A and B are shown apart, each in its own frame.
Chain A
Amino acid sequence: ELKVEQNPLFLSMQEGKNYTIYCNYSTTSDRLYWYRQDPGKSLESLFVLLSNGAVKQEGRLMASLDTKARLSTLHITAAVHDLSATYFCAGVSYNTDKLIFGTGTRLQVFP
């Protein structure tokens, strides 16, 4: 059964700094997703990573996937307050379409 772990669970960072959120998964996953959730809101899709070495960037966020290491990273460059949210990664069990989520990383960016 696929298990997905994220770290850190909570991240408080100053504006302008860089940081990386890590997502490890236990077995083969067809693909890896990153979602953002604002307080009281639903999950918003950020990235879909489909193959080993995939890298996607949107603004100050960049996601990558290493299927051999079973690791995905979400890198934040020069953080701004608007990035404050909870970020989830999710994998998909091989040959199924069940999304299995990590615990989430609560990101807080302060001035």
Chain B
Amino acid sequence: ETGVTQTPRHLVMGMTNKKSLKCEQHLGHNAMYWYKQSAKKPLELMFVYSLEERVENNSVPSRFSPECPNSSHLFLHLHTLQPEDSALYLCASSQVPGGVNTEAFFGQGTRLTVV
């Protein structure tokens, strides 16, 4: 248990559905991240929230919409996804600015399948 909890662990959704992924961290960190992990591709950074402000959006399609209501919670709202969006979505948190305590801790991930 890393202190970062993601729900659900598995999600199957149709292309017309709307769903949300949730991430919660109990580590007192002030930065949270969404990563996408597809087969045969590197881990892709999607969004970064630092001090509850979005500081990074790596050209992610608008069908992915993040929300960070406070420093402990992060959501990824999904709508009209495509089959190629099927992947493992990982949430992570860390403390910024960094220095020696910048280690990022990851949640267990949500395995998303779009049908």
CB distance from B87 to the nearest CB of A (A): 13
Chain A residues contacting B56 (CB-CB under 8 Å) are 98
- Assess the B102–A97 pair: CB atoms within 8 A: yes
- Confirm or deny: B92 has a beta carbon within 8 angstroms of a beta carbon on chain A: yes
- Assess the B45–A98 pair: CB atoms within 8 A: yes
Contacts A97-B98, A98-B56, A99-B92 hold; do A42 and B43 have CB atoms under 8 A apart?
no
- Assess the A97–B2 pair: CB atoms within 8 A: no
- Assess the A97–B106 pair: CB atoms within 8 A: no
Q: Which residues, 86 to 106 on B, are CB-close (under 8 Å) to A?
A: 90, 92, 94, 96-98, 100, 102-106
Chain A at the B interface: SS class: strand
* Interface size, B (range): 20 to 34
Bitwise, A66-105 to B at CB < 8 A (1) or not (0) is 0000000000000000000000101010000111111110
* Interface size, A (range): 20 to 34
The 8 Å CB contact of B100, one of A50, A92, A98, A104, is A50
- Assess the A42–B103 pair: CB atoms within 8 A: no
- Assess the A48–B43 pair: CB atoms within 8 A: no
CB distance from A64 to the nearest CB of B (A): 18
- Assess the A42–B108 pair: CB atoms within 8 A: yes
Contacts A31-B102, A33-B104, A102-B42 hold; do A42 and B109 have CB atoms under 8 A apart?
yes
- Confirm or deny: A26 has a beta carbon within 8 angstroms of a beta carbon on chain B: no
- Assess the A31–B104 pair: CB atoms within 8 A: no
**Which residues of A are interface residues toward B (Cβ below 8 A)?**
30-31, 33, 35, 40-45, 48, 50, 88, 90, 92, 97-104
**Which residues of B are interface residues toward A (Cβ below 8 A)?**
2, 31, 33, 35, 41-43, 45, 48, 50, 56, 90, 92, 94, 96-98, 100, 102-109, 111
